[in-house]
């Protein structure tokens, strides 16, 4: 079963067709990157795939379930169990500590108190280098640490897919390297698929595949060998 299968997706704003006949598939556990110039529709697609925005046409299946046309309430519930989202600006709850932020998708479904849920959160926090920070509040953390909390939250429910929109966009070079390294590690474990939108070839090169978006759909896909220079070269070839 594919983690994500988008077929014939269209989305316009007024007369402008941002996505048109957009197809994209991620296999279970696959780590892929989505690149394209500013305004090409990358965030629009992530919002559609997260059920935060509705498509005008097409289907988007997450783990085999089409989310196009779901009500907002159904989409929110589906998202908590099947989709993790990571945004550029972290979007943590400032009044909640690290642990509660990470557990939020489970707490909202009344599952946060189970031993399994607690263990899953603790494991992720350890994995992401946040042990000992459980009781801190987001304002006490660096940008890179906050983004790692957001990544832990995205993964805590073992979703089919994590959708990350420029997760290193607000970080300095060192924190960006750390966060992209951790995404790469989590990606290679292959539990949840990861789709990361990024302008950074270093982040994209961590993925197995890079998809290039142009004129509303994917026009090229390359396999990465971990080399950011290769990704940059393919980018320039696609958009020159
Ligand atoms: N709410 C909106 N109303 C009208 N137009 C919008 C809206 N949101 C996005 N757009 C338009 O849709 C197009 C795609 O936007 P989107 O945010 O998906 O681009 P992007 O590829 O994520 O760009 P960036 O790299 O700058 O983040 C842009 O031309 C944008 O102006
Ligand atoms: Mg964007």
Residues with CB under 5 A from ligand 2 (ion): 43
Q: Is 46 helix (H, G, I), strand (E, B) or coil?
A: helix
Pocket flag, ligand 1, residue 216 (CB < 6 Å)? no
Report the residue among 10, 20, 43 best suited for mutation to probe ligand 1: largest number of ligand atoms under 8 A from its CB.
Answer: 43
In this prediction, residue 116 carries a pLDDT of: 84
Q: Judge residue 191's burial from the number of C-beta atoms within 10 Å of its C-beta, 0-12 exposed, 13-18 middle, 19 or more buried.
A: middle
Contact partners, residue 157, CB within 8 Å, separation at least 6:
80, 81, 82, 84, 105, 106
pLDDT digits (tens, 9 = 90+) for 147-177: 999 999 999 989 999 999 999 998 888 888 8
In this prediction, residue 118 carries a pLDDT of: 86
Phi, psi of 72, deg, nearest 5: -60, -40
**Rounded distance from Cα 53 to ligand 2 centre (Å):** 14
Domain of 62, CATH number, reads 3.40.50.300
In this prediction, residue 31 carries a pLDDT of: 94
Separation CA 46–CA 194 (nearest Å): 11
In this prediction, residue 178 carries a pLDDT of: 87
**Rounded distance from Cα 212 to ligand 1 centre (Å):** 16
Domain count, the chain: 1
Separation CA 156–CA 148 (nearest Å): 12
Give 107's DSSP letter: H
- Are 39 and 19 spatial neighbours (Cβ–Cβ below 8 Å)? no
Residue with tokens 């070269």: 233
Range of the domain at 170: 4-239
Q: For ligand 1, atom 3, which residue shows the shortest CA distance?
A: 13
* pTM of the model as a whole: 0.94
* Residues of the chain below pLDDT 50: none
In this prediction, residue 212 carries a pLDDT of: 98
Atom of ligand 1 nearest to the CA of 46: 18
- Are 31 and 207 spatial neighbours (Cβ–Cβ below 8 Å)? yes
Which ligand does the CA of 15 lie closest to?
1
């Amino acid at each position: 079963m594919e983690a994500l299968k988008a077929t014939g997706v269209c989305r316009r704003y007024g007369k402008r067709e941002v996505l048109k006949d957009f197809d994209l598939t991620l296999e279970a556990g696959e780590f892929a990157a989505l690149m394209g110039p500013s305004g090409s529709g990358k965030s629009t697609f992530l919002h559609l795939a997260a059920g935060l925005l509705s498509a005008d046409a097409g289907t988007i299946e997450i783990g085999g379930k089409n989310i196009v046309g779901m009500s907002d309430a159904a989409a929110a519930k589906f998202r908590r169990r099947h989709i993790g989202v990571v945004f550029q600006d972290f979007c943590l709850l400032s009044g909640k500590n690290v642990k509660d932020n990470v557990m939020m998708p489970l707490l909202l479904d009344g599952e946060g108190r189970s031993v399994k849920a607690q263990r899953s959160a603790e494991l992720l926090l350890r994995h992401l280098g946040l042990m000992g920070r459980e009781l801190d509040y987001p304002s006490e953390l660096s940008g890179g640490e906050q983004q790692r909390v957001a990544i832990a939250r995205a993964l805590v429910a073992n979703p089919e897919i994590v959708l990350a929109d420029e997760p290193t966009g607000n970080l300095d070079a060192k924190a960006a390297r750390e966060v992209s390294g951790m995404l790469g590690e989590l990606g290679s474990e292959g539990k949840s698929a990861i789709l990361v939108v990024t302008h950074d070839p270093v982040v994209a090169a961590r993925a197995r595949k890079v998809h290039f978006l142009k004129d509303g759909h994917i026009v090229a896909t390359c396999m990465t060998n971990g080399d950011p220079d290769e990704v940059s070269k393919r980018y320039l070839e696609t958009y020159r």
